[in-house]
């Protein structure tokens, strides 16, 4: 299992801000990301994900906004729970209907 280090939102925002401010000093955005990531203590891939997410949220890059992505995840989770509950109710209904048919009349 991978070790996941959780960075605070403040650290993420600061790192992304540094990339945006300093990327002109480097030959490419990737070289800026590699340099800043090593100073902050995260991997370049992690910082790249943060930068791409920030670009999407700011409208620089196309894609789904973070708030929309979180809302979609919540709706998908709720949908799974409702499907599970419906399946339980369907099975319980079938069980009790069968029990009613198996009962001897008085």
pLDDT, one tens digit per residue, over 2-58 is 677 788 989 999 999 999 999 899 999 999 999 999 999 899 999 999 999 999 998
pLDDT, one tens digit per residue, over 68-85 is 999 999 999 999 999 999
Give 87's contacts (C-beta < 8 A, 6+ positions apart): none
Q: Which pLDDT belongs to residue 3?
A: 72
What whole-number distance in Å separates Cα of residue 23 and Cα of residue 35? 10
pLDDT category of residue 62 using cuts at 50, 70 and 90? confident
Q: Which pLDDT belongs to residue 1?
A: 55
Q: What is the 3-state secondary structure (H, E, C) of the chain?
A: CCCCCCCCHHHHHHHHHHHHHHHHHCCCHHHHHHHHHHHHCCCHHHHHHHHHHHHHHCCCCCCCCHHHHHHHHHHHHHHHHHHHHHHHHHHHHHHHHHHHHHCCCC
């Amino acid at each position: 299992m991978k070790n996941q280090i959780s960075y605070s939102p403040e650290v993420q925002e600061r790192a992304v801000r540094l990339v945006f401010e300093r990327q002109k000093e480097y030959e490419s955005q990737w070289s800026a990301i590699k340099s800043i990531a090593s100073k902050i203590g995260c991997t370049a891939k992690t910082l790249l994900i943060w930068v791409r997410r920030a670009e999407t949220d700011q409208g620089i890059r196309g894609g789904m906004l973070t708030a929309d992505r979180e809302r979609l995840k919540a709706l998908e989770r709720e949908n799974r729970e409702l499907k599970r509950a419906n399946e339980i109710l369907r099975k319980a209904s079938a069980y009790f209907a069968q029990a009613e048919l198996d009962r001897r009349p008085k």
